[in-house]
Structure 1
């Protein structure tokens, strides 16, 4: 009886539009990534996580939007998404909408870049009234890009960080995300 071949290692890229340091948006994405890695490990799948912090690419994204010129740093970030097996997309919410920085980055991507790529969505805001932003604004955006979005989106307001329910939502989203990533569907 032969031993099954080990699963191909997976790469998950976090795209975080959080601008503060530390960033609650990045923290939420990191928690989702960590739980996903744990779940993939239980399936004997090695995975790594890379992060694209959009706050470091503000000028590059602006230049690409206005002039159509992609800097080396922006090209590297986009190439990271191209070669990724899955993406965690995380944005803060401002004035009841996704971050302009986040949307501007998505706007410079090729429409075919994320086809069949698993994507988990996460958003943070100063108040919980914005909890539907991931489903109402991010999900249609990624549907347009033909990505495979997990059923559970994450949202966290300041009061959620001390609530056990956030950890439960992260676990549910990570379980869904890990199952899709493990399937190898993006290949």
Structure 2
């Protein structure tokens, strides 16, 4: 049994605290899956590397090679980690644009773990006020725990570390609770038989 995780980092700088959080969340989920005997393939999509292709796709409706490859990886993922820096109290424009040019059904029912970074904890509500509605619109299955990391959090791993571990475990649970993408599912296999329906 194997699973595919895709980690999306919307960080713009290099190095980036957004990429650091994304990597740690992806590792936490992958480690939990491996501890349960599951092979894991982790793919990281760094949005700054495809920023020009995202803009071109918004203008032309066509995704060039590297962006198309990232979109295909996301559509085939069994679980996704999505992390954005906070700008003007919301996700970054690059992060939003990437999901704007993604096929609207690509993340349907896919387990997603959300994360965000900012300079101050005053932006922590971005997780519930911006990110959850976005992924709800995409019909993704967002796990309960999302992780926000302000600048001060990086010096307090006794608090940040357990949140990352809990969120990673929730994503792993959600990934294991559904069939692998690509597994054939016959229509009606999950429906009760007629006699059961009649009995109410």
Q: TM-score range by the shorter chain?
A: over 0.9
Q: Cα offset for 1:186?
A: 5.8
Q: 2:67 aligns with which of 62, 74, 78?
A: 74
Cα deviation, 1:48-103, whole Å, max 9, x if unaligned, reads 21111000111100011112121111111101111111110010001111000000
- For structure 2, the 5+ residue unaligned runs are 182-200
Q: Which residue of 2 aligns with 1:169?
A: 163
Distance 2:77 2:41 in 1: 10
The aligned runs of 1:75-114 (5 Å cut-off) are 75-114=68-107
Q: Distance in 2 between matches of 1:66 and 1:127?
A: 34
Q: How many residues align?
A: 180
Which position in structure 1 is the counterpart of 2:46? 53
How far the C-alpha of 1:173 sits from its partner, in A, is 0.5
Contact 2:32 2:172 in 1 (8 A): yes
Question: Gapped runs of 5+ residues in structure 1?
Answer: 1-7
Q: Which residue of 2 aligns with 1:65?
A: 58
Q: Rg bigger for which structure?
A: 2
| Distance in 2 separating the partners of 1:40 and 1:25 | 23
Secondary structure of the structure 2 residue equivalent to 1:180: helix
Structure 2 residue 159 is matched with structure 1 residue 147: no
**Equivalent-residue separation in structure 1 for 2:95 and 2:180 (angstroms):** 23
Counterpart Cα distance in 2 of 1:120 and 1:56: 22
TM-score (norm 1): 0.93
4+ residue runs of structure 1 moved beyond 2 angstroms?
A: 184-187
Q: Compute the TM-score of the two structures, normalised by the length of structure 2.
A: 0.87
| 1:171 CA drift (Å) | 1.2
Cα separation, 2, equivalents of 1:38 and 1:145: 27
CA deviations over 1:127-160 (Å, ceiling 9, x no partner):
1110111121111111111111010001001100
Task: Give the 3 Å change call, closer, same or farther, for CA 17–162 of structure 1 in structure 2.
Answer: same
In 1, the alpha carbon distance for the partners of 2:66 and 2:145 equals 31
Deviation, structure 1 residue 18: 0.2
